[in-house]
Amino acid sequence: MESDKNQKNIVLFVTNLKKYFPITSGFRNKGVVKAVDGVTFWVREGETLGIVGETGCGKTTLGRTILRLIDPTDGEIYYDVPSDEMENIIKLETELQEKKERDGENKNDTEVETLLKELIPLRKKYSLSNKSNKEIIQKRKIMQPVFQDPFSSLDPRKLVKDIIAEPMKLLTDMSNEEIEKRTADLLSEIGLNEDHMYRFPHEFSGGQRQRIGLARAISIEPKLLVLDEPTSALDVSVQAQILNILKDVQERRGITYLFISHHLSVIRMMSDRVAVMYLGKIVELAETDRLFTDMLHPYTKALLSAIPVPDPKTKVQRVVLEGEIPSPSDPPKGCHFHPRCPVALPVCGWSPRDMSGPLQTMFDQFRNPELSILPEVNEIVVDEDGNSIEIKFVSAVKSSDEMVNIINKVIEKEQSLPNGVKFRSIKEIIPAPTGDGFTIKLIDPKVPHLREIRPGHFASCLLYDAPEGNTQPEFADVGKQAAYSR
Amino acid sequence: MDANVFAAKGGEKKRNPGLDNFITTMKLFVKTRIAFVGMIITLIYFLIALLDAVYPQYLGVTNLSSMLAFLHGQSVSASAQPIAPTTVGGWYYWLGTTEYNIPIFPSILASLKYDLGSSLLIVALGAATGVIIGTIAGYFGGLLDEIVMRITDIFFSIPFLVFAIAMAVILSRVLPSGSSIDVIIALTIIWWPIYARLSRGNALTIKSLKFVEAATASGSSRMRNVFVHVMPNVLSAVFVQFSLDLGSIVQIFAGLDFIGFHIGGVFFPELGNLLNIGQPYLAQPYLNLTTGQVLSSTIWWPIVIPGIFLLIFTVAINLMGDGLRDVLDPKLRR
Amino acid sequence: MELRYYIVRRLLVLIPTILGLTLLIFILMRSLPTTYLIAPYTAGAKTTAAKALDTATAIKLLGLNYPVPVQYLDYLNNLLHGNWGYMAAGGGYTGSVLTLIGLYLPNTAQLAIGATVLSIIVAIPLGTYIGARPNSVADQSGRIFSLFGYAMPAFWLALLLQIIFGAKSVGGAPWQIFPITGVYPESVLIHTPAWMANGTSYPTHIFILDALLNGDPSAAWGGFMHIVLPVLALTYGILAGILRFIRAGMVDAANQEYVKTARAKGVNEKLVIKRHVRRNALIPTITVMGLLFAGLLGGVVLIEKVFAYPGIGLLTVNSALPTLQIYGIAGTTLIFGLLLVSANLVVDIVYAFVDPRIRY
Amino acid sequence: MLVEDKLVENEEAVYLRVENLSTKFFTSKGIVKAIDNLSFEIRKGEIFGLVGESGCGKSVTALSVMDLIQDPPGRITHGKIYIDNFNIIGDLDRLAKIDVRSETDVRIKRNKRMIKRHNEILSKIRGDKIAMIFQEPFLAMNPVMRIGEQISESILLHNRIDIANSIIRRENIDRGKSDSFIEYLETIKGTERALKEINVWTREYGVPDAELKIIELSRSALSINEKKEKMYELLLAEKRGVNLQAVFEEREYFKDREKLLELNMEMTGYEEKNDEVNARRVGEEIKELRRGMTGRNISFLLKQKLMKKQYERPFLQEARRRTLELLKLVNIAGAERVIDSYPHEMSGGMLQRAMIAMALASNPKMLIADEPTTALDVTTQAQILELIKNLNTVTDSAVLFITHDLAVIAEMCQRVGVMYAGNLVESAPVEIIFSNMKHPYTIGLMASVPRADKKRDKAMKLESIPGAVPNLISPPTGCRFHPRCKFKMDICSEKKPKLVEIEKDHKVACFLYSNEVEEN
């Protein structure tokens, strides 16, 4: 964590933030949607942090949780804390997290204990996550949202004058004249004029409504703006106007932006640093140009290579991912991206449910004729918790050892195939005592954590977790195949 | 009205925005002609009801007691048979008479104030309670929402009229007053769940809209959100249901009176009551008392004429309600 | 979830509603002064002159002095064991409320189901025809027809039908052939046949059916003539309601994107309407059937009063006026509630069957 | 196929030609001039991109090309649309007389009979010659119909005769045909060609399920006679005892319908040239054919009404098999499961693939894609764009690709048209549009697009076009872009610039480059 002097101090620090939504159908609830699943990052004053990801990656929920429009399930949000306190908090919190992650099982309580003792009072004082509505209202003065859909972010029954004035009326003790004067100035700042005050929202175009929403947000001089897809619903020419205004406002007022979007081109233009999210976790966070040219995480590579480029001469060397984004209510084990990852390792999180399909095809006698001498497969039982798969034959086998040899040979063959990495996650084959089948035990998957691989460049991928003994990460070259290094 | 059309108009300075909004609504409303006709007829009905309530003597037939006095003036004995509509003997008899020679035309005019007055009261009370309960339940959700939903389920599981009969007849024995108040209270108790469920549904959709979240971010408390942002937007849908319900409440009110509730006593001027009095006569032939000659096989006017006035009112108010729904429908507004 | 789970879940949700229904009726009953509750035992169906009880013993017999929750449980227990209370004297009815309901329910069912089936058969084809031709002459007249149906009170329409089509004592027009009161033709009233007793026919209590079962077609025809006018009066209201919603459903479905896709595939107009628009238009109509059926049951009460038609509607009216039979009112309100709740259940199941989005 | 070759090809290579197309919407607030005098053409196998902001009329163009404009409120008021050299909208005045009294008071007198005939012809062309995919997959698929049902519906609309023929051939197969095929197979050397032959043959004789077995048989080391024996057994097993008479009648009925369509199209052609003599002659032919048809097909129509299920079964089975093939063609995972599932059970990406499969059901020569990937995520969008490009090369069907995203245009299209407020302002091959654009609006649009491939510069501002998209009820006079144009001259607000070819296949409508005026 470089904290050299010339850097501005940190305005917002979010650690291990989680937001789970219960799924309720009828009376009993069936599990939980892990919209935000342990996110840690910080933002410096006047900086724009871009948050990018596809649908269902949790970026909007993250924005709404930070704004405390919804209550977080776990984790802390430190905002507008005196800089020295903040330094101390960040040190303690990151130390605590590293302790928890490293020795997950044999947690030596003493160390964690001391850290917690120090942190609890700080959390009570500064962290927004478990504050009551009244206390949070003070912080609302200095953080405001800007939303995506221009047509649902303004109250159709209210005049523009009252819409812009609402935050001032509720959060400041300005007199009505002051408020009216300030509203007029704000309107001219965003390119509308005073008469627009006495109009209803339905009398404006999409672009003009976004400007009114922005005027409302900056009316009380906030230090942080959370912009959730501010220009996604707009046409290109109108989007350019809004983005320019956002830049002017930031230059003039030094406001920090949390810029959430799924348009990577807009993100690259607006953000100083970018965080890429996938299924509720940050998979990579880095300075903008570094991320676009020198990305580390395989998902970032695939995501950036999928963007069409407005120049017919650039031929993009595309990494096309198969399959669809899994549902956040039941994410894959270990690294959430492992089922679709082109460079996955055996340890990345392969679990029995990933294996049942491939095992089925393995027993196809066209594919592996040598297996046809074994009896026909009756049933494949997946045991997620036990991390094992049991395969039952129709009848018993002559000799278990012979069966194990044949299967091991076939598995080696499968492992050599292009996406045979799944089979390399098989630890051992245990023949069933009754001889009519066998159980496959898989190696226990590891969970990747956001690590600072290079200064200021974080990634959460087991490729860089310096697997036992192998110092040079196998896939370090993913950065070099920069898609755009022309 | 698109933005640059507005720009062309050079944006006048301060003008009363609420009035402007009302004018555009009226302009749109007038365009749908039949709805406008519906509104005119409804206004006429309310005018008569108002006039009669405020200046009873103006219409010649004052309220209940004076109507009886008027009758006493005439021989009130059970008349041989109701007189058919004739132009003889002043405007009282234009629409004929019913039992005891009660003239139909003035009794209808006198009864409007009770019919419309009480149904307006019922729907207004029902809407007020229903909207408040429904909006709060819809916005806060959770256990409160679950309870309100279960209660409205129970209220919806009994057919309106059966529930109205049970409530009215029990309330009349429980409440001291005894007169028509208990039917009004009974119908109000039945009517609020309709508005509760309607405003709950609307509150759920509005709650998810971003301007409510923006208000929360601007420091507005949840309760303030309900009254400042959610409820005004719920009212447009409620207003349409309000006008449609006026029509159905009048029907139920007349129905109760028709089956014999005699809410204000036997001679209480109310359309349902008139129909109740007139019912036995429809099977009797209309004879020329002197010659015994059969003039018509049925004495239809004590039934048909009050019914037509009731029908015209309900049709007119339904036309107005449909017209309002199209005008207030946000999609058309843009 | 499979359709079966969905049905089971709907049944589970039904239980609190039915319990709530009984609780509401219990509260209404107990809010009355006790004189009404003990009336049958002091002077009514449950007593002969000798056994008339005085107030104190009647209260102890009915357990009215126990705490209210216990009384509610006692009330539930009675309901389950068929003791829905008795009629007090002077109400024109005698005996236990449940037997009375048992006698008269088939007649009301005859009316309600007849009107519903008739309206569905007419409304669905008519509604789709009108919905497919917005702003055509058919559409305009359809809208006027359903507007009047929606606005016209059912009981007044019944009176009109009696005037226009009812048989008149003297000088009636040729088409005025329908009797305007009661259920039974004169032939049966003059000499009651063997399969009739204390005012109803056996074995099914549905007169037309029993007449046919017992081989008396002319009586059956007479019975049929009696129910034509009441069913017509009821049908107009619900028919107008269904028409209104099918038309709205058709117009809305016709503007959807998948209709444009169908046309882009080359499906001709007739098939677009039949296969794509109509299927999606019927779904919102089914949801509103529950509400319309509630209106229908309400109308039944008034129609039975106009035609003096001996069903549970007339039983409700006579229990309310002139004298209050509290057990009559409680019993009929409960049976009407149960009828409506089961109708809503049927509507839910049909809805889940038609709209796949619910089941999966 | 290099871009240069395409330009050289002669006239009949053009599959779609739009001439002076105008579409208007008559609303209570006034007449929206959505498309104003639009002309462009698309060659066979070419991907033509149409780009522009919302409200520029690109989606209305897509709908107008297939005359899917909903009337009321909209109508095509002017122009010609040639699909495969047949003008689908024929003589507009015969269809409906539009009497414009004022902006808000328009009377339309529709000729019911002509419109019915017009729709009959169009329902044959739509889906068969030209198909369309839409932007929102969840809205564009019928929510209460299974995916397989919706695709089979599209197949059965245009391929009944083809299916009937293959069923009839399968049922009537005799020993001679199977033996001659085996001998023919022996003569083929390359396995590649053999596979192709078997595939075509099994399709033609309606025995595709046996294809795998036949391939295995042809590879096996059996002698010629044994192979013939086994082959015949295989074919006999495939027979399903279908009521041939019924299938035969069905084929005749649809052949008559096909003939009827051709005559109708011919008649519209003559009417358009108001050559009354031929029009009446063809009219007679149609009447006489119709009389003949009812006579010939009466038994079929009756049976079809009564025994609908039993008649349809062989066709449905064949349609289901083709649907599975189509789903595999658009590489949907788990086609067997998808065919029986409902739209709401699938993801946006998969549903879009199903829609593409549905569009390709009867192998149309042209596909209109109206913003197919706008509602999808970046990674799914890449997969769908890849799919559309492959299908274009495999089936050689032209694509009219409509989007607001310039990057997608660069990725996909060979020629591009830029639209603004209902007019085509510039059209050229894609390299020229991105390297040497002329029209001020194209320049402005290009500059206001944020670039994901350029190095970030914190202070750099996007060059933005001032103002907003104009309202088309009262569009600006002369060139509709003049209120927002930096290079505005006086003439720009009076006259409307004509779309003129300033370079090889590079057309621009702007007075900076030519002072030809467009009169309408």
CATH code: domain of residue C117: 1.10.3720
The edge-to-edge listing of strands for the beta sheet with A29-44 is: A29-44, A10-24, A74-79
Q: How far apart are CA A50 and CA A63, in angstroms?
A: 11
Helices (H) and strands (E) in chain D, counts: 21, 14
Instruction: Name residues whose C-beta falls within 8 Å of residue D297's C-beta, 6 or more positions apart in sequence.
Output: D249, D252, D253, D256
D12 and D105, same domain (yes or no): yes
Quick one: pLDDT at residue C359?
Answer: 66
Would you tell me how many other CB atoms lie within 10 Å of the CB of residue D309? 7
Q: What are phi and psi of B17, to 5 degrees?
A: -65, -40
Would you tell me how many other CB atoms lie within 10 Å of the CB of residue B322? 20
Would you tell me how many other CB atoms lie within 10 Å of the CB of residue D308? 10
Strands A451-454 and A457-459: antiparallel
Q: What is the mean pLDDT of residues D504-514?
A: 89
Does residue D357 belong to any structural domain of this protein?
A: no
Does residue B7 belong to any structural domain of this protein?
A: no
Q: How far apart are CA D107 and CA D125, in angstroms?
A: 29
Instruction: Out of D185, D211, D238, pick the residue that ends a domain.
Output: D238
- Whether residue D445 and residue A324 make contact (CB cut-off 8 A), yes or no, is no
Does residue D474 belong to any structural domain of this protein?
A: no
D11 and D118, same domain (yes or no): yes
- Whether residue B31 and residue D471 make contact (CB cut-off 8 A), yes or no, is no
Query: Is the peptide bond preceding residue C322 cis, with omega within 30 degrees of 0?
Result: yes
CA A195 to chain centre: 43
For the stretch C44-99, pLDDT in tens is 666 665 666 777 777 777 777 788 888 888 888 888 888 888 887 766 777 788 88
Quick one: pLDDT at residue D151?
Answer: 93
Interface test with C, best of B32, B34, B156, B158 (most C CBs within 10 A): B158
Helix (H) or strand (E) holding B131: helix B104-140
Q: Name the CA radius of gyration of chain B, rounded.
A: 25
Domain count, chain A: 2
- Domain CATH code at residue B163: 1.10.3720.10
Q: What share of chain C is helix, strand, coil (3-state, %, to 5)?
A: 70, 5, 25
Q: Which residues of D80-110 are buried (b: 16+ CB within 10 A; e: fewer)?
A: bbbbbeebbbbbbebbbebeeeeeeebeeee
Does residue B34 belong to any structural domain of this protein?
A: no
For a pLDDT cut of 70, what percent of chain C falls above it?
Answer: 94
Which range of residues forms the domain containing residue D214?
Answer: 174-238
Does residue B40 belong to any structural domain of this protein?
A: no
Q: How far apart are CA B324 and CA D22, in angstroms?
A: 36
Q: How far apart are CA B57 and CA B62, in angstroms?
A: 5
Does residue C61 belong to any structural domain of this protein?
A: no
Query: DSSP secondary structure string, A253-300?
Result: H--EEEEEES-HHHHHHH-SEEEEEETTEEEEEEEHHHHHHS--SHHH
Q: How far apart are CA A470 and CA D271, in angstroms?
A: 81
**Do D98 and D71 form a contact (C-beta atoms < 8 A)?**
no
Quick one: pLDDT at residue B82?
Answer: 76
Question: Residue D127 is nearest to which of C265, C275, C354, comparing CB atoms?
Answer: C265
Q: Where are the beta strands (DSSP E) in C106-252?
A: 196-197, 200-201
Beta bridge partners of B110: none
Interface test with D, best of C136, C252, C256, C263 (most D CBs within 10 A): C263
- Domain CATH code at residue A416: 3.90.76
**Do D417 and D40 form a contact (C-beta atoms < 8 A)?**
yes
Quick one: pLDDT at residue D147?
Answer: 92
Pick D12 or A178 by higher pLDDT: A178
Helix (H) or strand (E) holding C316: helix C312-320
Q: How far apart are CA A444 and CA D225, in angstroms?
A: 59
For the stretch B161-183, pLDDT in tens is 999 999 888 888 877 765 567 78
CB contacts of B211 in chain A (<8 Å) are 152-155, 163
Pick A469 or D163 by higher pLDDT: D163
ipTM above 0.90, yes or no: no
A287 and A394, same domain (yes or no): no
Quick one: pLDDT at residue A484?
Answer: 31
Does residue B165 belong to any structural domain of this protein?
A: yes
Domain count, chain D: 2
Of A394-398, B109-113, C224-228, the range with the highest mean pLDDT is C224-228
Q: How far apart are CA D337 and CA D327, in angstroms?
A: 11
Paired tokens of C264: 């882009």
Domain count, chain C: 1
Does residue B148 belong to any structural domain of this protein?
A: yes
Which range of residues forms the domain containing residue C198?
Answer: 102-311
Residue holding tokens 């505005």?
A: D488
Does residue C44 belong to any structural domain of this protein?
A: no
Does residue A313 belong to any structural domain of this protein?
A: no
Q: Terminus-to-terminus CA distance in chain B, angstroms?
A: 7
Q: How far apart are CA B246 and CA D306, in angstroms?
A: 51
Q: How far apart are CA A478 and CA A298, in angstroms?
A: 7
Does residue A173 belong to any structural domain of this protein?
A: yes
Quick one: pLDDT at residue A43?
Answer: 92
Contact pairs from chain A to chain D, CB under 8 Å: 131
CB contacts of D68 in chain C (<8 Å) are 260, 263-264
A176 and A294, same domain (yes or no): yes
Q: What are phi and psi of A151, to 5 degrees?
A: -85, -15
Which range of residues forms the domain containing residue A428?
Answer: 352-442
Domain count, chain B: 1
Residue holding tokens 């970046």?
A: D378
Low-confidence ranges of chain A (pLDDT < 70): 1-6, 25-29, 103-108, 466-486
D95 and D213, same domain (yes or no): no
Q: What is the mean pLDDT of residues D119-137?
A: 89
Q: How far apart are CA A107 and CA D427, in angstroms?
A: 68
Q: What is the mean pLDDT of residues D285-307?
A: 78
- Whether residue B314 and residue C337 make contact (CB cut-off 8 A), yes or no, is no
B41–chain C Cβ distance below 8 A for any pair: no
Positive/negative CA dihedral, D407, D412, D418, D421: negative
A111 and A223, same domain (yes or no): yes
Paired tokens of A344: 């996955």
Per-residue confidence band for D17, with pLDDT thresholds at 50, 70 and 90: very high
Beta bridge partners of D108: D98
pLDDT at B329 over 80: no
Q: Which residues of D440-457 are buried (b: 16+ CB within 10 A; e: fewer)?
A: bbbbbbbebbbebbbebe
Paired tokens of B178: 């005894």
Does residue C206 belong to any structural domain of this protein?
A: yes
A234–chain B Cβ distance below 8 A for any pair: no
Positive/negative CA dihedral, B179, B184, B185, B190: positive
Q: How far apart are CA C78 and CA C37, in angstroms?
A: 14
CA nearest neighbour of D47 among D396, D510, D492? D396
**SS3 label, residue D16:** strand
Quick one: pLDDT at residue D150?
Answer: 92
- Whether residue B150 and residue C316 make contact (CB cut-off 8 A), yes or no, is no
Side chain identity at C282, as an amino acid letter? L
Give the minimum alpha-carbon distance from D159 to chain A in angstroms, rounded to a whole number.
32
Paired tokens of C288: 């509103």
Does residue A180 belong to any structural domain of this protein?
A: yes
D108 and D186, same domain (yes or no): no
Q: Name the CA radius of gyration of chain D, rounded.
A: 27
**Do C252 and C281 form a contact (C-beta atoms < 8 A)?**
yes
- Domain CATH code at residue A217: 3.40.50.300
Quick one: pLDDT at residue A214?
Answer: 93
Quick one: pLDDT at residue A136?
Answer: 85
A174 and A58, same domain (yes or no): yes
Beta bridge partners of D507: D427, D501
Q: What are phi and psi of D65, to 5 degrees?
A: -60, -30
The helix-helix angle for C326-354 and C97-132 (nearest 10°) equals: 40
Positive/negative CA dihedral, B9, B15, B17, B19: negative
Does residue C358 belong to any structural domain of this protein?
A: no
Q: Which residues of A369-385 are buried (b: 16+ CB within 10 A; e: fewer)?
A: eebeebbebeebeeeee
Instruction: Name residues whose C-beta falls within 8 Å of residue D434's C-beta, 6 or more positions apart in sequence.
Output: A310, A311, A312, D410, D446
Does residue B28 belong to any structural domain of this protein?
A: no
A365 and A287, same domain (yes or no): no
B304–chain C Cβ distance below 8 A for any pair: yes
Quick one: pLDDT at residue B193?
Answer: 92
D468–chain B Cβ distance below 8 A for any pair: yes
**Do C37 and B173 form a contact (C-beta atoms < 8 A)?**
no
Q: What is the mean pLDDT of residues C229-244?
A: 90
Which range of residues forms the domain containing residue B219?
Answer: 56-313
Quick one: pLDDT at residue B179?
Answer: 58
D97 and D26, same domain (yes or no): yes
For the stretch A294-310, pLDDT in tens is 888 999 988 988 888 88
The helix-helix angle for D160-171 and D244-272 (nearest 10°) equals: 150
Alpha helix segments (H runs only) across D335-429: 335-339, 348-359, 378-395, 406-412
Give the minimum alpha-carbon distance from A346 to chain D in angstroms, rounded to a whole number.
24
Search chain B and give the residue with CA nearest D29. Answer: B1
**Do D356 and D141 form a contact (C-beta atoms < 8 A)?**
no
Pick B179 or C14 by higher pLDDT: C14
Give the minimum alpha-carbon distance from C263 to chain D in angstroms, rounded to a whole number.
7
Helix (H) or strand (E) holding A39: strand A29-44
Would you tell me how many other CB atoms lie within 10 Å of the CB of residue A81? 21
B318–chain C Cβ distance below 8 A for any pair: yes
- How many CA atoms are closer than 13 Å to the CA of D273, on its beta-carbon side? 11
pLDDT at B65 over 70: no
Q: What are phi and psi of A43, to 5 degrees?
A: -130, 135
A384–chain B Cβ distance below 8 A for any pair: no
D19 and D119, same domain (yes or no): yes
- Whether residue C297 and residue B159 make contact (CB cut-off 8 A), yes or no, is yes
For a pLDDT cut of 70, what percent of chain B falls above it?
Answer: 79
Quick one: pLDDT at residue D388?
Answer: 92
Q: Is the pTM of this model over 0.90?
A: no
